Structure 1
Amino acid sequence: MEDKSEATLGLFLLIMLQGFLSSGGVEVRPSINPAVAGGTVTLSLFPSENIKSGSWSVGQSPVVTWQGTYQAVFPSHTGRASVNISTGALTLTSLTVADSGVYEVLGTDPQLKANASITVEESISNVTLSVTQTGLLEFQSSALMNCSVSAGSSLSYVWTNGSSVVKVGDRVQLSNGGSTLSVLNLTRFDSGPFRCSVSNPVSNGTSNPENVTVNYGPDNMALTVNGEGTTAFTAGSNLTMLCSAESNPAAQLQWAFKGELVNSTGTRLQLIHVSENQTGTYTCLAFNNNTSKYSNITRTITISKSGADQQAVNVALLPLMLLSSKLIFFSTNT
């Protein structure tokens, strides 16, 4: 009785095992996924099966069928598909993006059914960045950048400005799947080399940098005298005034003394052996021809007599001081 039960159980397990292999025990494994357009992929069965006859299809379209040593490839895959008549493995060559899909194998001897999905991606090539810009002005203009490729599928885009990743915000917008970048109300900090990096599961590429030039200023001016903030000097000193302004392009600089232009331009005004009559206001005026904006900064410089000059004056006044003291003494005693 016990032997009969064991035999029945063994037969049941064998039937279950055969059903398992027929319905889902065999799986299809691609040699690579995703695959690259133009490349090759092999769809193999695991565990390996000695399939004497069967067929492969993708979606509703037949690819190949075989019986023993004979195999027939359907026109859609002529010259690009072949089957290993021993294992049933399907090899596809010269892949295209259109070859993506669910591939199913049907075995008739033995009976089995299994499938796997593969994706074919086209490699990215020739990433190009173009920028639409003409006379961009800070807080007034916008920049439009477009990233394109000559080949590639399933594209993802990342934009950088210098070493920083560009993030979408109130002024920054992405469109056309991320291939177009718009920067509104440009600021001077938007200037810099922009790049776009494009990737998909099988490749990537980065464009050459493109500079976005934003015209701004002049503003944030600074004026130093002899490299310091001091404004009081003695006669005979040599003074070097340096003026700077934040501006793109660089501002044109002109100097003025007491409101009157002097014959000096550029960042430096040099005064040699100054005298008291050079006391007054010195102004650096800045102009940006591209933005048509002006700015200025003024310092009041005081030139006083030197110690030697003061000593000479004191010596010259000494007789008068002595005479004055004698007169005071005489009038007091009388």
Structure 2
Amino acid sequence: MEKKAEGTVAIILLALIQGFPASGAVEVLPSINPAVVGNSVTLSLSPSTALNSGSWAVGGSLILTWTGAQQAVFPNHTGRATVDVQTGALTLTSVTVADSGDYTVQSTSPMLQASASLSVYELISNVMLTANQKDLVEFNSAAVLTCSVSSGSSLSFLWMNGSSEVTGSDRVQITDGNSTLTINNVTRYDKGPFSCRVINPVSNGISGPVNFTISYGPDNMALTVNGRNTTSFSAGSNLTLLCSAQSNPEAQLQWAFGGELLNTTGPLLELLIVGEKQSGSYSCLALNNHTNVNSNITTNIMIAKSPLSGSDRRAVDVGLLPLLLFVGFLSSWQGKL
């Protein structure tokens, strides 16, 4: 067998020197392409052609040679490559990513050469997403996410924030072969959930979600009185001042009147049966201990003396009646004099 193999190699080397005519009528067809690591792949000639001798090579490196019923496999493919000596079909077992390449069959009987490309990929498994830290402060922190797999080859990465795809921008960088996502100066809208999808031609996988806790505010404050934006009220009214602020965590609220702090905290300040002396500026002060940011909003309230009601006017009229009668009596008495 060894001598016959050597003879076949000599024939092939001679043919390589002289050149093989390419056979446009014959092509090589892989049974699976792309193939998954561990698969068996057969590269057959189409149409089927009886070859008495020949060789298979990948990327210029010989896999095996054969002549008649004898074949010789080169060390890199020992135990994994066989040829059908009748048809010249090459079978590879337990293929690996390294088996990807351009396969060429050559024969001297009859004279032909044909090629095909084979791609082998490793299945993706166990897609994982990790974050450098999850508690962030708006405009002062960077979020760094890293996507990895336990296995897989020729990977492509797709980043998602909820149902929206994340792409690069001034704040967003996607690096390390697209496996790392960095968001600089995070905003409250960067909380997630983030996920990464990993794809190759034979499989895909998606990570679990990652959410960030982003502290922000207080900002966008609002202050209403009795649910309205009006600030003029009559004496004797009951007033409810409501303060709100966008903040995470929830802001601490403190009330002030005329620049002096009141002993009232929380979103509500209630003023009952107000008088004119309660006219002035009312402020709501907001503080977020996580961001160390404070904000405030002020409204000026005018308490006007209420006009007399109808019953009050009647009471005044009755009180003045004796005086009017007395004045009328004096006028009449002086006329008689």
Residue 317 (structure 1) shift: 2.4
Structure 1 runs of 4+ with >6 Å offset: 323-334
Structure 1 counterpart of 2:10: none
**Could you list the per-position Cα deviations for residues 47-86 of structure 1 after superposition, in whole angstroms to 9, with x for gaps in the alignment?**
1112232221112322223333333333322232222233
RMSD: 3.0
Give matches, 1:1-334, under 5 Å: 23-133=23-133, 136-234=136-234, 238-271=238-271, 273-276=272-275, 278-303=278-303, 310-319=309-318, 322=321
The number of aligned residues is 313
Does the C-alpha gap of structure 1 residues 26 and 263 become closer, same or farther in structure 2, counting only changes over 3 Å?
same
**Could you list the per-position Cα deviations for residues 13-70 of structure 1 after superposition, in whole angstroms to 9, with x for gaps in the alignment?**
xxxxxxx986332111122222211222221111111223222111232222333333
Does the C-alpha gap of structure 1 residues 199 and 134 become closer, same or farther in structure 2, counting only changes over 3 Å?
closer
Structure 2 counterpart of 1:3: none
CA contact (8 A) 2:134 2:211 kept: no
Residue 312 (structure 1) shift: 4.5
How high is the TM-score relative to the length of structure 1? 0.81
Q: Secondary structure at the match of 1:210?
A: coil
Q: 2: distance between equivalents of 1:41 and 1:233? A: 88
CA contact (8 A) 2:135 2:212 kept: no
Residue 169 (structure 1) shift: 1.5
CA contact (8 A) 1:193 1:210 kept: yes
2:313 corresponds to which letter in structure 1? N
Q: Secondary structure at the match of 1:88?
A: coil
**Could you list the per-position Cα deviations for residues 199-250 of structure 1 after superposition, in whole angstroms to 9, with x for gaps in the alignment?**
1222211211112333221111012233332334456655443321111222
**Could you list the per-position Cα deviations for residues 264-319 of structure 1 after superposition, in whole angstroms to 9, with x for gaps in the alignment?**
33333345x53325544332221111111111122334455678x73453234224
Q: 2: distance between equivalents of 1:64 and 1:217? A: 71
Q: Secondary structure at the match of 1:76?
A: helix
Q: 2: distance between equivalents of 1:57 and 1:161? A: 47
Q: 2: distance between equivalents of 1:79 and 1:331? A: 141
1:210 corresponds to which letter in structure 2? V
**Could you list the per-position Cα deviations for residues 133-184 of structure 1 after superposition, in whole angstroms to 9, with x for gaps in the alignment?**
3653322322222211121211112212222211212121122111112222
Gaps of 5+ in 1: 1-19
**Could you list the per-position Cα deviations for residues 81-132 of structure 1 after superposition, in whole angstroms to 9, with x for gaps in the alignment?**
2222332211212111111111111123322211111121112222212212
Does the C-alpha gap of structure 1 residues 258 and 326 become closer, same or farther in structure 2, counting only changes over 3 Å?
farther
1:42 corresponds to which letter in structure 2? T
Q: 2: distance between equivalents of 1:142 and 1:185? A: 6
Identity of matched residues, %: 58
Q: Secondary structure at the match of 1:169?
A: coil
Gaps of 5+ in 2: 1-19
Q: 1: distance between equivalents of 2:262 and 2:118? A: 78
Does the C-alpha gap of structure 1 residues 90 and 275 become closer, same or farther in structure 2, counting only changes over 3 Å?
same
How high is the TM-score relative to the length of structure 2? 0.81
